Amino acid sequence: YDLNGTLWKRMEASQIKMVDPVKKNWMAQLIRMESAKDGRFTVLEFSQVKANAGIPDSVFSQQNLSRVK
């Protein structure tokens, strides 16, 4: 909703799967965002999600995050 309380976008999450059995974390594998104004939409699809993969903190340095690949 926007600041005036008007519906702005709708989010639909589906294909909910457990991604971390140890911590019991669940994640939507498919997310659809739709504009309430004109019906345009974006779909995010996640596959091969790995939780607690042991990624070192150095991967998330400012230099690495600004690098275009």
Per residue in 52-68, pLDDT tens? 888 899 888 988 888 66
pLDDT given at position 41: 98
pLDDT given at position 51: 87
Cα–Cα distance between 15 and 31 in angstroms, integer?
Answer: 9
| Confidence band for 46, pLDDT divided at 50, 70 and 90 | very high
Reported residue count of the chain is 69
Mean pLDDT, residues 15-40: 95
Residue 64, helix vs strand vs coil = helix
Q: What's the pTM?
A: 0.72
